[in-house]
Structure 1
């Protein structure tokens, strides 16, 4: 029988993966910037542009995921309130505890950052130095 991981444990795993992958990616890119000097190669310029674009994309994706979760949570809370006042018209869905809601929202916001950082770690660890 498979056990389902709790949301807090999944968030912890995401944070550990992000915390181990980020230093590698940062140090690799900083070393690349230092060795590129004032005239980076085309490959270096692509990597630096990708670095900036990924940060913006992850921020937007994170924001969208957390906002989407907040809208879903708000809809569920509204349905619960309407079911209290008009039980003949609405069916109440169970609301998560405040702690679970915060953990779920944080997890939704962390996923894009973790996914991109871990993918960068894999990609950058396979590459040979540019010079």
Structure 2
């Protein structure tokens, strides 16, 4: 495994750990708030529920965009490697570079996709933990 793959794997592990720490608190806080609001939520509750839905859509959009850009970047790098290989087919270096790209790219794309989601979850946990009556 290359050093970039180790970095990507470490990023993924960090992001998953952040999600594992933040998500249960955020889900508990929000479900409790929804249950407490009942059939007639207050204006503040309605605003929070709307923001909750919108931030999930924004995080999904950011995640998809980040994964698309990471995939496009890898595709361009791979095309460059293949162009070099076509120019010098006797060289092993382009083959090794292509192999590294193909093995590291899935981790890089996953890391790029997890980044916005884990950042949002951590931000929400901090924000919701600062509200009165909340314990993070």
The CA RMSD measured in Å over matched residues stands at 1.9
> What is the match of residue 47 of structure 2?
46
The aligned residue for residue 82 of structure 2 is 81
Cα separation, 2, equivalents of 1:114 and 1:99: 24
Aligned to 2:27: 26
User: Separation in 2 of the partners of 1:43 and 1:100?
Assistant: 45
Segments of structure 1 that go 5 or more residues without pairing to the other structure are none
Of 115, 120, 127, 2:124 maps to 120
Q: Which runs of 5+ in 2 are unaligned?
A: 89-93
Q: Which has the higher helix share?
A: 2
Q: Which runs of 4+ in 1 moved over 4 A?
A: none
TM-score of the pair, normalised by structure 1: 0.85
User: What is the TM-score of this pair, normalised by structure 2?
Assistant: 0.82
Give the Cα separation in 2 of the matches to 1:101 and 1:72. Answer: 9
Residue 91 (structure 2) aligns with: none
> Secondary structure at 2:39's aligned position in 1?
coil
Count of aligned pairs: 122
